């Protein structure tokens, strides 16, 4: 999609990839586990680091590991999905405090990758809980990343923000935000491949070439969620697409080659 060149497509045995999007993986990380990361990390990076979105500082690995959460607070809706889990981890290494929103059964997973606080989106008081988290952050609140980006989540977030006092909240989605939604937030959306193109190619280089190799080796970034391997070979691609369309929770559909 990004280049229009079939050589860059994924559904083939070999693909040509720009060097800025390539990272070695440590020997202890199986390929099917590592496969959960590329799309999710690149999408999360576009949301967090592009200047039209949250414009955060690029991730760094300190001598002690993860930096202090001194750069503000972000709320991630859909925190247990692949993009949500990637965004939590990148936000942490960019010095943010993370509040995740996910179903109760996935709270342990969301906390395990670094969220400081997790809210249950099915809870009767979710609106009150989100408003309280935003107000507690005060001027340090960075915004909301909607890692689900469905009509329901757009509407729910907009409604919740009715109860938040202050200026409109910054919100970044994975899909264009429909007209008529967004009375209470300033919205933008992101796509994964934008980090490899001007003016954002420094993000791909800073993430994949400079940060991810060390981060994976040191365990600062975890390959989560776990893969759900649904087949082997190119003949399994359609089955995988059908399984993805049916919906999964806290898993990533993977086909081995």
Per-residue pLDDT of 53-108, as tens digits, reads: 999 999 977 767 788 888 999 999 999 999 999 999 999 999 999 999 999 999 99
Give the model confidence (pLDDT) of 13-35 as tens digits: 999 998 999 999 999 999 999 99
What DSSP string runs through the chain? --S--GGG-SSSS-----GGG-----TTS-HHHHTTSHHHHHHHHHHHHSTTTT-PPPP--BTTBSPPS-S-EEEEETTTSHHHHHHHHHHHHTT-EEEEEE-GGGHHHHHHTT-SEEEETTSTTHHHHHHHHHHHHGGGEEEEEESS--HHHHHHHHHHGGG--SSPEEEEESSPPPTT--TTEEEEE--GGGGGSTT-HHHHIIIIITTHHHHHHHTSS---SEEEEEEESGGGHHHHHHHHHH--SSEEEEEE-
Alpha-carbon span 114 to 89, nearest angstrom: 6
CATH 3.40.50.720 residue ranges of the chain are 37-222
Per-residue model confidence (pLDDT) at position 1: 75
**Percentage with pLDDT > 70 across the chain:** 98
Q: Does domain 37-222 have CATH number 3.40.50.720?
A: yes
Res 70: pLDDT: 87
> Do 230 and 240 meet the contact criterion of CB atoms below 8 Å apart?
yes
- What's the pLDDT at 167? 64
pTM, full prediction? 0.94
As a whole number, mean pLDDT of residues 130-155 equals 95
The Cα–Cα gap between 123 and 119 comes to: 8
Angle between helices 126-137 and 151-160 (to 10 degrees): 60
Q: How many Å apart are CA 125 and CA 144, to the nearest integer? A: 18
- What percentage of the chain exceeds 90 in pLDDT? 82
> pLDDT, tens digit, for every residue of 164-195?
877 689 999 999 998 888 788 999 999 999 99
The pLDDT mean for the chain works out to 94
């Amino acid at each position: 999609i990004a280049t229009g060149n079939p050589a860059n497509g994924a559904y083939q045995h070999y693909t040509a990839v720009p060097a800025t999007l390539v990272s070695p993986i440590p020997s202890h990380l199986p390929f099917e586990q590592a496969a959960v990361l590329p799309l999710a990390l690149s999408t999360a990076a576009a949301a967090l680091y592009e200047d039209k979105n949250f414009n955060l500082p690029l991730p760094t690995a300190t001598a002690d590991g993860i930096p202090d959460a001194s750069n503000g607070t972000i709320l991630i809706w859909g925190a247990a999905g692949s993009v949500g889990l990637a965004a939590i981890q990148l936000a942490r290494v960019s010095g943010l405090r993370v509040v995740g929103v996910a179903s109760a059964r996935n709270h342990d997973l969301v906390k395990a990758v670094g969220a400081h606080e997790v809210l249950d989106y099915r809870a009767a008081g979710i609106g009150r809980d989100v408003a309280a988290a935003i107000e507690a952050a005060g001027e340090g609140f960075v915004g909301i990343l909607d890692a689900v980006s469905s009509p329901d989540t757009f509407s729910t977030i907009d409604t919740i923000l009715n109860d938040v006092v202050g200026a409109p909240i910054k919100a970044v989605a994975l899909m264009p935000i429909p007209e008529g939604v967004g009375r209470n937030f300033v919205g933008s959306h992101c796509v994964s491949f934008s980090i490899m193109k001007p003016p954002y190619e420094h993000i791909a280089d800073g993430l994949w070439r400079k940060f991810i190799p060390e981060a994976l080796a040191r365990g600062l970034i975890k390959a989560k969620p776990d893969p759900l391997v649904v087949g082997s070979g190119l003949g399994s691609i359609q089955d995988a697409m059908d399984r993805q369309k049916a919906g999964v929770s806290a898993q990533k559909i993977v086909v081995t080659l």
